[in-house]
Structure 1
Amino acid sequence: MKTLLQIQSSLSSDDGQSSQLAHRFAARWLQANPGGRIVVRDLARNPVPHLTAERFQAFLTDPEDRSPRQREIVAESETLIGELEAADAIAIGLPMYNFGIPSTLKAWIDHVARAGRTFRYTENGPEGLLADRPVYLLAARGGLYHGTPRDTQSAYMMNFLGFIGLHDVEFVYAEGLALGAEEAQATLQNAHAQIDRLAGVRLAA
């Protein structure tokens, strides 16, 4: 049974435009993968704690020396990493807040990017430890940022995903959503068409 991990990071949960794009993607993925399973990680409804010195120290402490609290913290991280490892494909709803990614998504990143677990340092530089699989980023933005210096999200997400071993990355952009109803409708139609093309070509492959 194939599995899609759907990550939502909109503060509006299911009502966010990026979440709705992710839902559309998931529906098309199911059509291309009958009998498949979707695991939803909603970071608005179930936020991952932000990284603290206590949590970081738990990751660094040798397993046999961890306190009960540290084992609990690491178990939370392991759950998130396990969802990544079990997924055949990953879809991330990606809204833009103040030119960056949501802080809840950054907290999730801080709990899955762990030295010795999802990446390691070698004499040739860092090496991702996750087996590559397709990642789809459904980016919803109020303005027009793609291809400009203000688009800090795209390079950041590509760098992070590649750092842990995920290089097969595809973006779907829905931009200009705050520039009027006509602009929003047009950009959403384009995003929907791109999702549908991905479903018809890549997802069924």
Structure 2
Amino acid sequence: MTTLLHIDASARAGDSHTTPHGSHTRRLTARFVRQWTALHPETKVIYRDVGQNPPPPVTGRWIHAAFTPEPVREPWMREELRISDLLVDELLQADLIVAGVPMYNFGPPAQFKAYIDNIVRVGRTFGFDRGRSGEPYWPLLAGAGKRLVILSSRGDYGYGPGGRLADRNHVEPSVRTAFAYIGIVETQGLAIEYDEFADQRLADSIKEGEDAVDGLVSRLARGGTLRRETVNARA
């Protein structure tokens, strides 16, 4: 049985299919999960809305607690890491992660960055040993077969590879880097563009984004793999 971790990070509460001025990324993630579970009704879905309920940002107390060996942590340290532990536990259960991550000022929303900071955990998702020969850091989730789908949206256009604004896209590259660091390297991205133009180009981009989601679900259902790329609808 597949466990799917569905994450939404948009500050917009509704999706653009059902809510005026709603989120395009919520629209895409909901479609992906709906299509996936139709093909795999036995799937266990874990839902995490970091857009509406963001995890707390990392603090000095959090760092102190995280880098204190678990057997000697004080009660306040365990409480400091309680939400982080919950988020890591969800990630460890998941075979497939579907994350809706819109572009805010060229990067992921702060809510999603807080999520990443809470799941990149020494001793839980990456290892560290300063006395280790060679590289002192290593991913703890490598080889676990986890896959990541990043569903994004942008107000402007041309953020894909070779596009006019490709050098300003710090969404998929930064998310991929963080997840690869902990061992999740099979990823693929899809993105809707032209949101701020609100014209036919946006409508076409939404349609192409939805079609791309359907195609991706179908390919994965047939045993296909993710491609390390981002498909920009109408880029």
TM-score for the superposition, normalised by structure 2 = 0.83
| 1:164 and 2:182 correspond | yes
| Alpha-carbon distance between aligned partners in 2 of 1:155 and 1:78, rounded to the nearest angstrom | 25
Task: Give yes or no for contact 1:4–1:90 (8 Å, CA) kept in 2.
Answer: yes
Structure 1 counterpart SS, 2:213: helix
Equivalent residue runs for 1:1-205 within 5 Å: 1-15=1-15, 16-121=23-128, 123-125=133-135, 126-130=137-141, 131-144=144-157, 145-147=159-161, 148-205=166-223
- Structure 1 residues without counterparts, runs of 5 or longer: none
Q: Which runs of 5+ in 2 are unaligned?
A: 16-22, 224-235
- Contact 1:51/1:110 (CA < 8 Å) preserved in 2? yes
Q: Deviations over 1:109-163 (max 9, x none)?
A: 1111012210124534332111231110001111122221111112111111110
Give the number of equivalent residue pairs.
Answer: 205
1:41 partner letter: R
Shift of 1:54: 1.0
Amino acid at match of 2:147: P
Query: CA–CA distance in 2 between the matches of 1:170 and 1:178?
Result: 24
Comparing 187-196 and 54-63, the one that deviates more: 54-63
Q: Deviations over 1:74-129 (max 9, x none)?
A: 23211111111111200000101111111111111111101221012453433211
Is the CA contact 1:33–1:204 (under 8 Å) kept in the aligned structure 2? no
The structure that is helix-richer by fraction is 1
Q: Which has the higher contact order (CA 8 A, sep 6+)?
A: 1
2-structure distance, mates of 1:178, 1:87: 34
How far 1:45 moved relative to its partner? 2.7
Measure, in 1, the Cα distance between the counterparts of 2:187 and 2:134: 23
**TM-score normalised by structure 1 residue count:** 0.94
Could you tell me the percent identity over the aligned residues? 30
